[in-house]
A and B are shown apart, each in its own frame.
Chain A
């Protein structure tokens, strides 16, 4: 990222908007953080989208309840702040804008006119914080049930089941909940009939073989043609962000595994990297390389799961069994190294849970040798099959601009031909040391999304091979007071080290007050953790930006005029998991 260019943008903004900008907040997020007056936010965002190297994408939109925060020197007074994070792909830079809000006037204008994908994010902020977005077409709950009272991410909302009366469900209560979920077309501006013929409204989900989890799309059908559709999410919501505020920095790691539950330690990576930024820890080369290796191994298992289910959604029943055989071989390696299979929670603040076991390179090499022939076979039997091509070519296709509009990242963005891979553009954890290519698609259709992931698996295998060949020696934990848990050997040396060890393990490390953010190129797109520390053993605010969420918001824009089987093909080609959407 070019700091000069970024400084120039901030300078231009200052010149143009003058006192509409309050101040620039110093953080560890690696991007300028500007506080903007509420009246100016739409204007500033529109301006940033019009630059010569524009901020094409609203990467994230969230909020923070600032009322309990003790370390906010030099920041504008605020009870709540709304955070807009923009991404410029052309300039490879980010910017974060914040708007301060008073508790008595929790309202600001919607920015849907500038960034269409603000729609769901604003609904989420309304749902979680009760902040109103004036002019929003459909400001209703998105993650919580429609009958919910209160806004969960407010600091005064209870976090645990033990903090309120035991939950009971009566028959009347159940009827009420179900009634609240009944789809009313008029609420979404839909017609019930056209030219005297009624449309069929079909609930696809929340339980449906092709919904990939508890996901519901209500389809407005004319025969089998999709006139319009409304995705409904939130059935898999577990309040991971709220839990982040109630777990120590260390004990939150296992929760990250379960965000994108097919991604394993890939989820740990952005979290521990963000925490390490706060703590100022520089991990060893060995730890960084092992992290890359394991993350890439999980990219392969995730892509294998994708490939099997993608083809199964196209009606081919066999490939999933083959890809699961491959996955099993990968899990054999993962289990040998981490001691666990799907959710190892194996990365630690400052390093890894343990060193690589003896003989790891042999079994890893076996896996790397096994895969290429299989990938070739999948290509020849399936991707070259005319039925597969017929089902996926030019189906649910979108271009790069459309991907920017909806905040699409990762393989689905690259399938449109946009060369944006964080591992190349902003190398982290030592990716700059590896030799690999970034596969690109051209049509951005369901076929390219499938084909591209097969190629990505090949590149991941290349990276793993380089890890096997050149694994650096050294410690698997950084020599830093905030490394958690601290190296055990030193615990017995001195009473001071014993006390430190005891405190870190029982209370957890205390991180300096600041904000940090880390994006990684996860299995499904860009995943990031935006952490706010208030100088405590726990996070003040943990924002998890996941790649699956934007893809679902995009569905209606792509599916209007398609057929039901096209929707199924598209759902299969997105590669999303609901845990990653709902968090």
Chain B
């Protein structure tokens, strides 16, 4: 087909710039939709995997091999009574799940999926992610606060303390990568890993980032804010129906985001032999998603104050050490 011919058919108002914008927008919407969809599918995948690891079946009744479980769950959650407690602070109560979903979802725009696919190509990419992570704390804080429930309050208290502590070194843990790649731009960071994945030179950074990632997504064993056995679901205890659903899916979006970021920053993103870039990216991300689930199946929950101590006493010095060593090596290698 002759693309030039097609170009002639184009109406005059549809100039190439606009066309490119529209395509980019559609691409962005598609990526975000896929992110949400994958997160939703993850809820079922998690239950099946937990079943596998726990010597039981998991949900296997709806559709062949339980494949339609997700649809059943979505229908159910849509038709649940959407209840707002009369004692809650209504506006903030409504706002919180929106923030939870939006802040994490927006972070996806910086992720380069393949050499050509990806929403935004920003020089501040990594900073944008950290900023969105910061905003995400508010969803838990406000949700717990506005519920006017003591369990929710304790949950949000834990969450804000934990997230703030872990964000301190989450940012620092990435600085080694940034220094090595010489850029905040994720696309450039991936390209810098063509020869050697950063997980090797930045192993400490990888460990601390992954721990911080678990902590900021409130995934087990850092699920202190919801801690079923202690706080009976913590900050979202008063939420029902889709508002609960947004917190719920938000958690999986967070998992997906951290997995994708880990792959991008430490495991060479789309790089890999034989298979197309997208497949490599998806496979690597899948491994980390499974790691999230496996951690939940395998580990007990540490006490809340130990989590904080671990963050400040162990992880923070490690990241600082990592940053220091990385800096020293870079200076030695490139004497200015």
- Chain A residues proximal to chain B, CB less than 8 Å: 200, 202, 208-210, 224, 311-318, 321-322, 325, 382, 385, 387-388, 390-391, 563-566, 568
Q: A208-B232, A210-B229 are in contact. Are A318 and B304 (CB under 8 A)?
A: no
Q: Which residues of B contact A314 (CB under 8 A)?
A: 229, 300-301
Cross-chain contact A390 with B303 (CB below 8 angstroms)? yes
Residue B164, interface by CB 8 Å: no
CA distance A390 to B310 in the complex (A): 12
Q: Which residues of A contact B151 (CB under 8 A)?
A: 202
Q: Which residues of A contact B302 (CB under 8 A)?
A: 315, 387, 390-391
* Sampled A-B contacts (16; CB under 8 Å): A202-B150, A202-B151, A209-B228, A209-B232, A315-B220, A315-B223, A315-B229, A315-B300, A316-B298, A321-B55, A322-B55, A390-B302, A390-B303, A391-B303, A565-B227, A568-B229
CA distance A311 to B299 in the complex (A): 10
Q: Which residues of B contact A202 (CB under 8 A)?
A: 150-151, 154
Residue B78, interface by CB 8 Å: no
CA distance A224 to B297 in the complex (A): 26
- Chain B residues proximal to chain A, CB less than 8 Å: 50, 53-56, 150-151, 154, 220-221, 223, 227-230, 232, 296-306
Cross-chain contact A317 with B297 (CB below 8 angstroms)? yes
Beyond known contacts A210-B229, A391-B302: 20 more, CB 8 A cutoff? A200-B150, A209-B228, A209-B229, A209-B232, A314-B300, A315-B220, A315-B223, A315-B229, A315-B302, A316-B299, A318-B54, A318-B297, A321-B55, A382-B300, A387-B300, A387-B301, A563-B304, A563-B305, A565-B301, A565-B303
CA distance A563 to B224 in the complex (A): 13
Q: Which residues of B contact A565 (CB under 8 A)?
A: 227, 230, 301, 303-304
Cross-chain contact A563 with B303 (CB below 8 angstroms)? yes
Q: Which residues of A contact B50 (CB under 8 A)?
A: 317-318
- Minimal Cβ-Cβ distance residue in B for A387: B300
Cross-chain contact A315 with B55 (CB below 8 angstroms)? no
The 5 A-B residue pairs with the shortest CB-CB distance, nearest first, are: A315-B301, A316-B300, A321-B54, A314-B300, A387-B300
- With beta carbons under 8 angstroms apart, the residue of B56, B230, B297, B299 that contacts A210 is B230
Q: How far is the CB of A93 from chain B (nearest CB, A)?
A: 42
Q: How far is the CB of B298 from chain A (nearest CB, A)?
A: 7
Cross-chain contact B303 with A321 (CB below 8 angstroms)? no
Q: Which residues of A contact B300 (CB under 8 A)?
A: 311, 314-316, 382, 385, 387-388, 391
Q: How far is the CB of A332 from chain B (nearest CB, A)?
A: 16
Cross-chain contact B230 with A568 (CB below 8 angstroms)? yes
Q: How far is the CB of A263 from chain B (nearest CB, A)?
A: 24
- Minimal Cβ-Cβ distance residue in B for A225: B305
Interface centre among A311, A313, A316 (most CB of B within 10 A): A316
CA distance A321 to B150 in the complex (A): 31
Interface centre among A311, A317, A321, A385 (most CB of B within 10 A): A317
CA distance A492 to B67 in the complex (A): 63
Interface centre among B229, B297, B298, B302 (most CB of A within 10 A): B229
- Minimal Cβ-Cβ distance residue in A for B51: A321
Q: Which residues of A contact B53 (CB under 8 A)?
A: 318
CA distance A564 to B229 in the complex (A): 10
Cross-chain contact A315 with B227 (CB below 8 angstroms)? yes
Q: Which residues of A contact B232 (CB under 8 A)?
A: 208-209
Cross-chain contact B303 with A322 (CB below 8 angstroms)? no
- Minimal Cβ-Cβ distance residue in B for A315: B301
Q: How far is the CB of A209 from chain B (nearest CB, A)?
A: 6
CA distance A202 to B157 in the complex (A): 15
CA distance A222 to B77 in the complex (A): 36
Q: How far is the CB of A501 from chain B (nearest CB, A)?
A: 48
Q: Which residues of B contact A566 (CB under 8 A)?
A: 303
- With beta carbons under 8 angstroms apart, the residue of B54, B150, B229 that contacts A313 is B229
Q: How far is the CB of A199 from chain B (nearest CB, A)?
A: 12
Q: Which residues of A contact B306 (CB under 8 A)?
A: 390
- Minimal Cβ-Cβ distance residue in A for B223: A315
- Minimal Cβ-Cβ distance residue in A for B297: A318
Q: Which residues of B contact A390 (CB under 8 A)?
A: 302-303, 306
Cross-chain contact B54 with A564 (CB below 8 angstroms)? no
CA distance A322 to B53 in the complex (A): 10
Cross-chain contact A224 with B54 (CB below 8 angstroms)? no
Q: Which residues of B contact A209 (CB under 8 A)?
A: 228-229, 232
Q: A318-B53, A321-B54, A321-B55 are in contact. Are A564 and B301 (CB under 8 A)?
A: no
Q: A321-B54, A387-B299 are in contact. Are A315 and B304 (CB under 8 A)?
A: no
Q: Which residues of B contact A322 (CB under 8 A)?
A: 54-55
Q: How far is the CB of A382 from chain B (nearest CB, A)?
A: 7
Cross-chain contact A317 with B230 (CB below 8 angstroms)? no
Q: How far is the CB of B221 from chain A (nearest CB, A)?
A: 7
CA distance A280 to B229 in the complex (A): 49
Q: Which residues of B contact A387 (CB under 8 A)?
A: 221, 299-302
Cross-chain contact B55 with A224 (CB below 8 angstroms)? no
Q: Which residues of A contact B304 (CB under 8 A)?
A: 224, 563, 565
Q: How far is the CB of B300 from chain A (nearest CB, A)?
A: 4
Q: Which residues of A contact B229 (CB under 8 A)?
A: 209-210, 312-315, 568
Q: Which residues of A contact B230 (CB under 8 A)?
A: 210, 564-565, 568
Q: Which residues of A contact B154 (CB under 8 A)?
A: 202, 224, 564
CA distance A130 to B262 in the complex (A): 68
Cross-chain contact B221 with A315 (CB below 8 angstroms)? yes
Q: Which residues of A contact B305 (CB under 8 A)?
A: 224, 563
Q: Which residues of A contact B228 (CB under 8 A)?
A: 209
Q: How far is the CB of B8 from chain A (nearest CB, A)?
A: 63
CA distance A57 to B301 in the complex (A): 36
CA distance A315 to B226 in the complex (A): 11
Cross-chain contact B220 with A325 (CB below 8 angstroms)? no
Q: Which residues of B contact A321 (CB under 8 A)?
A: 54-56
Q: How far is the CB of B157 from chain A (nearest CB, A)?
A: 8
Cross-chain contact B55 with A325 (CB below 8 angstroms)? yes
- Minimal Cβ-Cβ distance residue in B for A219: B150
Q: How far is the CB of B181 from chain A (nearest CB, A)?
A: 35
- Minimal Cβ-Cβ distance residue in A for B54: A321
Q: Which residues of B contact A315 (CB under 8 A)?
A: 220-221, 223, 227, 229, 299-302
Q: Which residues of A contact B301 (CB under 8 A)?
A: 314-316, 387, 391, 565
- Minimal Cβ-Cβ distance residue in B for A325: B55
Q: How far is the CB of B230 from chain A (nearest CB, A)?
A: 5
- Minimal Cβ-Cβ distance residue in A for B56: A321
- Minimal Cβ-Cβ distance residue in B for A202: B150
CA distance A387 to B304 in the complex (A): 12
CA distance A210 to B231 in the complex (A): 9
Q: Which residues of B contact A388 (CB under 8 A)?
A: 300
Q: How far is the CB of B82 from chain A (nearest CB, A)?
A: 23
Q: How far is the CB of B275 from chain A (nearest CB, A)?
A: 33
Q: How far is the CB of B81 from chain A (nearest CB, A)?
A: 19
CA distance A566 to B297 in the complex (A): 22
- Minimal Cβ-Cβ distance residue in A for B298: A318
CA distance A209 to B151 in the complex (A): 13
CA distance A325 to B230 in the complex (A): 25
- Minimal Cβ-Cβ distance residue in A for B301: A315
CA distance A390 to B151 in the complex (A): 24
Q: Which residues of B contact A311 (CB under 8 A)?
A: 300
CA distance A62 to B306 in the complex (A): 44
